[in-house]
A and B are shown apart, each in its own frame.
Chain A
Amino acid sequence: MSLDTSKVATSNGATAATAGKPSKLGGVAGWADERLGLAGAMKKNLRKVFPDHWSFMLGEIALWSFVVLLLTGVLLTLWFTPSMGEVHYEGSYDQLRGIEMSEAMASTLNISFDVRGGLLLRQMHHWAAMLFIASMMVHLLRVAFTGAFRKPREVNWVIGCLLLLLGTLEGFTGYSLPDDLLSGTGVRAADGFLKATPVVGSYMSFFLFGGEFPGQAIIPRLYIIHVLLIPGLLLGLIAAHMLLLVYHKHTQWPGPGRTEQNVVGFPMLPVYAAKAGGFFFIVFGVTAIMGGLLSINPVWKFGPYDPTKVTAGSQPDWYMGWPDGLLRIMPGWESVIFGYTISWNVMIPILIVPPTMLVILILLPFIEAWITGDKREHHLLQRPRNAPTRTAVMVSLMTFYGLAWAAGGNDIIAIKFHMSINHITYFMRVMVFLGPAIAFFVTRRWCISLQRHDNEKLLHGYETGIIMRSPEGGYSERHLPISEASAYSLTARDRDEIYTVEGDTDANGVVAPGSRAQAVRAKLSEKMYGYNVQKPTAEEIEEAHHHAEHEHELEAGLDHPADGHQFDGHSDHTVDEAPLRGH
Chain B
Amino acid sequence: MIEPGNDDATGSTAHGGTPAIPEEPIANPGLPAHTWRPTDLDEGAAKRAERQVAGFFFLSMVCTVLFIVAYFTLQIGDNFDTFIGLGASTVALGLALGGAMLFIGVGIIQWARKLMGDHEISELRHSASSSVEDREATLAALDIGIEESGIGRRPLVRNSLLGAVGMVGLPLVVILRDLGPTNNQVANAEAGTGLQHTIWKKGMRLVRDVVGTPIMASELEIGDLVNAAPEALFPTEENGYPEIEGVKLNVQKAKGAIIIVKMEPDEIKHGKGRENWTVDGVICYSKICTHVGCPISLYERTTHHVLCPCHQSTFDLADSAKVIFGPAHRPLPQLPLAVDDEGYLIAQADFDEPVGASYWEREKQ
A residues with CB within 8 A of B: 47-49, 84, 86, 92-94, 112-120, 123-124, 151-152, 185, 188-189, 191-193, 195-203, 205-217, 247-249, 254, 256-267, 270-271, 274-275, 277-293, 295, 306-314, 324, 327-334, 336, 339-343, 345-346, 349, 375-377, 379-380, 410-411, 421-422, 425, 458, 484-485, 487-488, 491-495, 497, 535-538, 540-541
**A341 close to B312 (CB less than 8 A):** no
Per-residue contact bits, chain B 89-131, to A (CB 8 Å; 1 contact, 0 not): 1111111011111111111110110001110111111011100
Give Cα distance in the complex from A343 to B289, angstroms: 14
**Are A328 and B112 in contact (CB-based, < 8 A)?**
no
Q: Which of B99, B118, B124, B293 contacts A191 (CB 8 A)?
A: B293
Asked whether B109 lies within 8 Å of A210 as measured between CB atoms, the reply is no
A273 vs chain B, min Cβ distance (A): 9
A261 and B8 contact, CB distance less than 8 A: yes
Are the CB atoms of B292 and A192 closer together than 8 Å?
yes
Contacts of A202 in B (CB 8 A): 182-183, 195, 359-361
Complex CA–CA separation, A278 to B93 (angstroms) = 21
Select from chain B the residue with minimum beta-carbon distance to A52. Answer: B120
Q: What's the nearest-Cβ distance from chain A to residue B134, in Å?
A: 15
Which chain A residues lie closer than 8 Å to B120 at the CB level?
Answer: 264-266
Q: Which of B22, B127, B250 has the most CB atoms of chain A within a 10 A radius of its CB?
A: B250
**A-B residue pairs in contact (CB < 8 Å), sample of 8:** A188-B294, A206-B186, A261-B8, A275-B108, A278-B109, A341-B362, A492-B11, A538-B23
Contact A217 B363 (CB under 8 A): no
Neighbouring B residues of A264 by C-beta, 8 Å:
4, 31, 120-123
B209: Cβ under 8 A from any A Cβ: yes
- The answer for the CA separation of A249 and B361 in the assembled complex, in Å, is 54
B291 contacts partner chain A, Cβ-Cβ < 8 Å: yes
B284 at the interface (CB under 8 A from A): no
Measured CA separation A311–B309 after assembly (Å): 7
Chain A residues with CB under 8 A of B182: 202-203, 206
Output the least CB separation between A444 and chain B (Å).
Answer: 24
- Nearest CB of A to B90, in Å: 5
A-side contacts of B124, CB under 8 Å: 261-262
A86 near B12: Cβ-Cβ < 8 Å: no
Contact B360 A206 (CB under 8 A): no
Cβ-defined contact, B122 with A346, below 8 A? no
A281 touches B359 (CB 8 A): no
Contacts of A271 in B (CB 8 A): 112, 116-118
Q: How far is the CA of A270 from the CA of B111 in the complex (A)?
A: 10
Pick the residue among B86, B105, B193 that contacts A281 (CB under 8 A): B105
B179 & A343 in contact (Cβ 8 Å cutoff):
no
Bitwise, B289-317 to A at CB < 8 A (1) or not (0) is: 00111111110000000000111110000
A254 to B326, CA, bound (A): 51
Which residues of B sit under 8 angstroms from A425, Cβ to Cβ? 312, 325-326
Most buried by A among B4, B22, B312, B330: B312
Q: Once the chains are docked, how many angstroms separate the CA of A283 from the CA of B101?
A: 9
* Contact (Cβ within 8 A) A192 B327: no
Q: A92 and B76: CB pair below 8 A?
A: yes
Interchain nearest-CB distance for A43 vs B (Å): 13
Question: In the bound complex, how far is the Cα of B330 from the Cα of A267, in angstroms?
Answer: 64
The reply to whether B358 and A196 form a contact with Cβ atoms under 8 Å apart is: yes
B76 and A485 contact, CB distance less than 8 A: no
For B19, the closest partner residue in chain A by CB is A497
CB distance from A153 to the nearest CB of B (A): 9
Hey, which chain B residues are within 8 Å of A340, CB to CB?
A: 360-361, 363-364
Knowing A207-B180, A275-B112, A341-B358, the reply to whether A120 touches B97 (Cβ < 8 A) is: yes
**Residues of chain A contacted by B179 (CB below 8 angstroms):** 207-208, 210, 217
- Once the chains bind, are A259 and B12 in contact (CB under 8 Å)? yes
- Indicate if B241 sits at the interface (CB-CB under 8 A): no
Min Cβ gap B364→A in Å is 5
| Cα–Cα distance between A393 and B247 once the two chains are bound (Å) | 49
Inter-chain CA distance A285–B98, complex, in Å, is: 4
Do B309 and A207 touch across chains, with their CB atoms under 8 A apart?
no
Compute how far the CA of A113 lies from the CA of B297 in the bound complex, rounded to whole angstroms.
31
With contacts A196-B358, A278-B105, A288-B97 taken as known, whether A214 is within 8 angstroms of B90 at the C-beta atoms is no
What is the chain B residue whose CB lies nearest that of A122? Answer: B90
Once the chains are docked, how many angstroms separate the CA of A553 from the CA of B98?
60
Contact A379 B125 (CB under 8 A): yes
**Contact between A377 and B180, CB atoms less than 8 A apart:** no
Check if A308 sits within 8 Å of B125, measured CB to CB: no
Which one of B109, B118, B292 contacts A193 once the chains associate, using CB atoms below 8 Å? Answer: B292
Taking the closest CB of chain B, its distance from the CB of A39, in whole angstroms, is 19
* Contact A332:B328 (CB < 8 A) given known A210-B180, A271-B118, A537-B25: yes
Chain B residues whose CB sits within 8 angstroms of the CB of A333 once the complex forms:
329
CA A279 to CA B111, docked complex, whole Å? 13
- Measured between C-beta atoms, what is the minimum distance from A138 to chain B in Å? 20
